[in-house]
Amino acid sequence: MIELHGASGYLLNQFMSPYSQIRQDKYGGTLQNRARFAVDVIQNIKQKTGADFPVSYRITINEYVQ
């Protein structure tokens, strides 16, 4: 099993966060665009390991930013 750490300010979290993600390309803006990097990473892992290989994704629910 592979667990991706998409929380606690790590790179995957930085792409997903509306607070730190200020890009204006296909990876920024909407939630769908901000999630694109994580989806690309997961698809790449699945391509290399096979569809049945378990992959989990740790995500931040609340960033406690006002």
Given 10, 27, 57, 64, the catalytic residue: 10
The answer to whether residue 29 sits within a structural domain is yes
Q: How far apart are CA 57 and CA 7, in angstroms?
A: 9
Does 23 map to a domain? yes
Q: What are the backbone dihedrals phi and psi of residue 49, each rounded to the nearest 5 degrees, phi first?
A: -105, -20
Residue 66 lies in a domain: no
Count of domains in the chain?
Answer: 1
Q: 47-66: buried (b, 16+ CB within 10 Å) or exposed (e) per residue?
A: eeeeeeeeeebeeeeeeeee
The reported pLDDT for the residue numbered 43 is 97
Hey, which residues does 3 pair with through a beta bridge? 56
State yes or no: is 64 an active-site residue.
no
- Which residues constitute the domain of residue 33? 2-59
* Per-residue model confidence as pLDDT tens digits over 2-37: 999 999 999 999 999 999 999 999 999 999 999 999
Residue 65 domain flag: no
Q: Is the pTM of this model over 0.85?
A: yes
Q: Has residue 64 been placed in a domain?
A: no
